[in-house]
Chain A
Amino acid sequence: MALDQEIITELVKRVLGELAEERNVRPKESSGLHLAVEDAVEHAVEAQKSLIVMSLDSRAKLIAAMRQAALDNNEELSALAVQETQLGRYEDKIKENILCATKTPGTEDIGPMALSGDDGLMLLEYGPVGVIGALTPITNPTGTIINNSISMVAAGNAVVFNPHPNARETSTRMIRTLHQAIVDAGGPPGLIGAVRKPTLDTARQVIEHPKISMLVATGGKPVVDVVLRSGKKAIGAGAGNPPVLVDETAQIRKAAHCIVDGASINNNIFCTSEKEVIVVDEVANSLIKFMQETGKTYLLTPEEAAKITALVVTPERKINPSYIGKNVQVILGEIGIDLGEEYRLAIFEAPKDHPLVWLEQMMPIMPVVRVKDVQEGIQFAVEVEQGNRHTALMHSTNVEHMTAFARAIQTTIFVKNGPSYAGIGLGGEGHTAFTIAGPTGEGLTSARTYTRQRRCTLVESFRII
């Protein structure tokens, strides 16, 4: 045996030294990342207790620090997101993060409501729910985490994330960055956190953990279904298939620009992005011509469209995941079409039953369907939206047409005369959210979504008029 006791003693000393170091250092310099879900939850529980005794003013400072950290690290995180997930476009990720960092409401969103009358005063306050478990998607890992973190912390909660495993690197870096900002601004460590290696198994642990009181799922239908079945209060943001309807009264050139910009942002991976154009026949030729004239749109010939369809739609009528979120040059390159860098979108004329009309393609390939009039357009758009009630868009100057469509389609977001991203606050009024809770009805989530209402009644006093 080559080992003598001296070497063994030395070995063990070093091992003990390292183990002790890990143990002592971790709680103090927590990075927000943990080995096990249990650790993350324990830290979150403690951190949330510390947060609610801090002043609102201090909480607002934490939010400001998170916003700043997201902006300061934007370039690095955007590049990493595109590199790791192979989805979207760098310049659009930059926009996405700026949007989330600046237009996610903070503590102002949880202002109380008061009612006074003959019987005194009723005060309604929005209290935290505690520790929230948040599942975040592969498509917008940075934006969703910025948006959720700000909203949840502003409402006085702690959050344990379980990011999509295929966006692990980006998501954990994002969480670490925001966590550091919170700690540097005097907030409790562990307020936001995640396991180092999120998997489906850790997702299950987060969902089932008794100390997590609310679940938020941003992603596909399967994950939303799982949290809705958890027996806990759950908020789900599911998929959509937003139609954009263009009628004969629209400003066609403007509509063309809006559709190209909205459908091509991040290569169509936003769930709110235009997924099919439905256009009244009378103006269809003009619309297509104007879309081409933007210089960013390539019109596929029927033969090319058939080849592309065969490429991106599998024989089982599913979207081929290899092309999701890819640049149009990459996809068209597969069938030998060489496009310049200025192109962002390819369009083609499609019959009503074309698979890309009905599927959420999440890539910059968009079908254009002709209808004879606005009535047929409304009816067809409602059909292709398939009851998701997610997002719909219309370009029109006829108030009655717009009202009729909005009433018929019942979506959470309805954008008129603008690109789809205006509906999530980018160039449109209102706050932003990357968790759009259609299925559970909260709409564009914000701090107030992550609260529980508490009523305080003072009898016969404090009506001071």
Chain B
Amino acid sequence: MKLSYSVACLLGSIAEAEALCLGVPMAIAVVDGKGGLLFFGRMDGTLPASTEIAMAKAFTAAALRMATHEVGRLAQPGGVLYGIQHTHGGKIVLFGGGLPLRLQGKVVGGIGISGGTVEEDIQVAEPVVKALAQMESWSEGLGNLVPASSGAESWFLRLHGTLERVVNDMGVNLSHGDLSILRGAIILSCGEDL
């Protein structure tokens, strides 16, 4: 199972909504399982240094399969990973704000947030991990309902509008976040090529 670009964008928008709630402009990076950048966004007013930090956090979390604050703990003098930050040309971050993203129990990518305090960064990153888990759980519930071939590009573009309309028609009360998660669930259940 891979993390697709469409899902990465949705995760980015979920992080953005969280950052807006906090009132702190953030840089948001999503990478795939090998640490390759899939999505990046930088909100207006973000601290300039945050661009590189966010990307490095996402890379660290994906490449080491663990949260950046966890890496930091293990990299203290005397720790088992002491000195690891020198192995990847400055791309390893030792403080919080980067979390691995998992599908079917395996790390398929990472999210990196930078712009606030470490606590704020983690506060924005955590709902993203939760959202992906929710997408996965809903998509499992859908079973084989969504045909694998339905993911043609034009279909994707129309998905959002159609979903909004149906939700309205049915009178279901859905938050913006839920709507993104539901979109993600439908995309996930199209199959792993997407």
Contacts and interface: CB of A to CB of B under 8 A. Distances in A.
Interface of A: 1-3, 5, 7-16, 18-19, 22-23, 35
A15 B186 contact: yes
Q: Which of A1, A3, A12 gathers most chain B CB within 10 Å?
A: A12
A5 B172 contact: no
B79 interface: no
Contact of B185 (A1, A8, A35): A8
Interface in B164-185: 165-167, 169-170, 172-174, 178, 182, 185
Interface stretch (B19-27, B37-45, B60-68, B154-162): B154-162
B166 A14 contact: yes
Given A7-B170, A12-B182, 12 more contacts: A7-B172, A8-B142, A8-B182, A11-B166, A11-B182, A14-B166, A15-B166, A15-B186, A16-B146, A19-B155, A19-B158, A22-B162
Interface in B115-172: 138, 141-142, 145-147, 150, 154-155, 158-159, 162-163, 165-167, 169-170, 172
A195 to B, nearest CB: 14
B166 A18 contact: yes
B92 to A, nearest CB: 36
B166 A5 contact: no
Closest 6 CB pairs of A and B: A5-B141, A14-B166, A18-B162, A15-B166, A15-B163, A15-B162
Contact of A15 (B147, B154, B159, B178): B159
B162 A11 contact: no
B174 A3 contact: yes
A2 B175 CA distance: 10
Contact of A9 (B142, B169, B173): B142
A10 B150 contact: no
A8 B141 contact: yes
Contacts of B182: 8, 11-12
A16 B142 CA distance: 12
Tell me if B's interface is mostly helix, strand, loop or mixed. helix
Contact of B167 (A9, A11, A19, A23): A11
B150 A16 contact: yes
Nearest to A3: B178
24 contacts: A1-B178, A5-B138, A7-B170, A8-B141, A8-B142, A8-B185, A9-B141, A9-B142, A10-B170, A11-B163, A12-B182, A12-B185, A13-B145, A14-B166, A14-B170, A15-B159, A15-B162, A15-B186, A16-B145, A19-B150, A19-B155, A19-B162, A22-B158, A35-B154
A20 to B, nearest CB: 8
B150 to A, nearest CB: 7
Contact of B145 (A7, A9, A18, A22): A9
A325 to B, nearest CB: 36
A7 B166 CA distance: 12
A19 B185 contact: no
A369 B188 CA distance: 75
Contacts of B178: 1, 3
A19 B153 CA distance: 12
Contacts of A14: 166, 169-170
Contacts of A16: 145-147, 150
Contact of A3 (B142, B158, B166, B172): B172
A13 B31 CA distance: 31
A9 B139 CA distance: 9
B166 A8 contact: no
Interface centre among B138, B147, B162, B173 (most CB of A within 10 A): B162
B158 A12 contact: no
Contacts of B186: 12, 15
A35 B141 CA distance: 33
A9 B142 CA distance: 6
Contact of B155 (A1, A11, A23): A23
A19 B159 contact: yes
A311 B9 CA distance: 52
A19 to B, nearest CB: 6
Contact of A12 (B145, B155, B165): B145
Contacts of B167: 11
Contacts of A13: 145
A12 B150 CA distance: 13
Contacts of B185: 8, 12
Nearest to A6: B141
B146 A12 contact: yes
A455 B129 CA distance: 69
Contacts of A35: 154
A3 to B, nearest CB: 7
Nearest to B156: A19
B171 to A, nearest CB: 11
A7 B170 CA distance: 10
Contacts of B158: 19, 22
B76 to A, nearest CB: 38
A11 B170 contact: yes
Contacts of B174: 3
Contacts of B172: 3, 7, 11
A23 B165 CA distance: 17
Nearest to A10: B170
Interface in B5-44: none
Contacts of B166: 11, 14-15, 18
Nearest to B142: A12
A297 B186 CA distance: 68
A341 B14 CA distance: 61
Interface in B87-124: none
B186 to A, nearest CB: 6
A87 B71 CA distance: 69
A257 B55 CA distance: 76
A12 B147 CA distance: 12
